[in-house]
Amino acid sequence: MPSLTVGQENSGDIKLYYEDHGTGQPVVLIHGFPLSGRSWEKQTSALLSAGYRVIAYDRRGFGWSSQPTFGYDYDTFVADLHQLITQLDLRNVVLVGMSMGGGEVVHYLGTHGSERVSKAVIISGVPPYLLKTSDNPEGVDKSVFDDTAAAIATDRPAFLTTFFANFYNTDMLLGALISKEVVRDSWNVAAAASPVGTLACPHTWTTDFRRDCARVDVPTLIIHGNQDRICPFSASGQRTHQFIKGSQLVVLDGAPHGLLWTHAEQVNQALVDFLGQSAQARAA
């Protein structure tokens, strides 16, 4: 399995598992919580067919990457991403992040700039700032994040069952846009993730990305469902569009947080169209 070393814990290396397929402009796919690079199954095939090189990796603690007991913060996540980009010597990169991965996209650009990045896509993302504060009244109450962490600490497998019901809006979409087998597969991937990492991640959802969003200087596409129960559109996607100047916004009617599967055709069309527009602009 291809992997790269991004650090060390005691006697063991911390490695990121990744897959690197196709040729052409590189597209780096950054998955959401609590899944892995496998969650991009439907997007990977569409991007390869459209002529792009696709690199999907597993965030530390998830998928087939190492499961250290530290480093579950956005500075470390972005440092890991930067090592992937530089060790593979990727240039003219498209960064595509889903959910937590959207935070990595904007924090990477806010931290490292756009020297190696040509465009960005944020899907069901956590930016710009999910926490409700006096200067961010559109956010979500802190109790929601605290209750999530408490549920994980109490019974992680049971939490995952409830989480994926809201991730895919199974009360409305099961049997129509998603099968019980897909939901079960997501549960299996998440259950195999690091318990430490799973518990740590909800505390990162309150990261303030507003300054990072203001520093984004590449063409950016934002895709969000208006029935997202994990990152409500009004608190995230809608406001990210406002914070990133010149960004394009695609709102998918009836789509849940996990729209990579339930609304794959619409997501893929928007994604490929956006990349194609950028290619045409470069050619002009």
Q: What is the per-residue pLDDT across 114-138, written as a single tens digit (0 to 9) for each?
A: 999 999 999 999 999 999 999 999 9
In whole angstroms, what is the distance from residue 170 CA to residue 173 CA? 5
Q: What is the pTM of this model?
A: 0.96
Chain Cα centroid distance, residue 239: 17
* Strands 3-9 and 12-21, bridge-based pairing: antiparallel
Cα torsion 249, 169, 130, 218 to 10°: value is: -30
Helix axes 156-167, 142-154, angle to 10 degrees: 130
Tokens coding 154: 């109490």
As a whole number of angstroms, the distance between CA 35 and CA 178 comes to 16
The tens digit of pLDDT for each residue in 81-104 reads: 999 999 999 999 999 999 999 999
Quote the pLDDT of residue 281: 47
Whats the size of the chain, residue-wise?
284
Q: Which residues of the chain have pLDDT under 70?
A: 278-284
Say which of 107, 224, 241, 257 is annotated catalytic.
Answer: 257
Active site residue 228: yes
Q: Which residue among the candidates 58, 80, 212, 228 is catalytic per the annotation?
A: 228
172: domain CATH number is 3.40.50.1820
Comparing CA positions, the residue from 220, 157, 239, 162 lying closest to residue 191 is 157
99 belongs to the catalytic site: yes
Residues of the domain holding 170: 3-283
Closest CA to 195 of 247, 156, 167: 156
Q: Choose among 233, 213, 215: nearest CA to 223.
A: 233
Q: Which residue blocks in the chain are alpha helix, DSSP H?
A: 41-49, 74-87, 100-112, 142-154, 156-167, 170-173, 180-191, 195-200, 210-215, 237-243, 259-262, 264-283
The CA-atom distances, in angstroms, between 222 and each of 18, 58, 98, 105, 241 are: 24, 22, 10, 11, 7
Give residue 1's pLDDT.
74
Can you give the pLDDT at residue 277? 83
> Which of these, 99, 127, 108, lies nearest to 241 by C-alpha position?
127
Q: What is the dihedral of CA 17, 111, 120, 231, to 10 degrees?
A: 80
Domain count, the chain: 1
- Of 39, 66, 99, 236, the catalytic one is 99
Is 278 catalytic? The answer is no
The per-residue pLDDT for 271 is 98
Q: What pLDDT, on a 0 to 100 scale, did the predictor assign at position 283?
A: 42
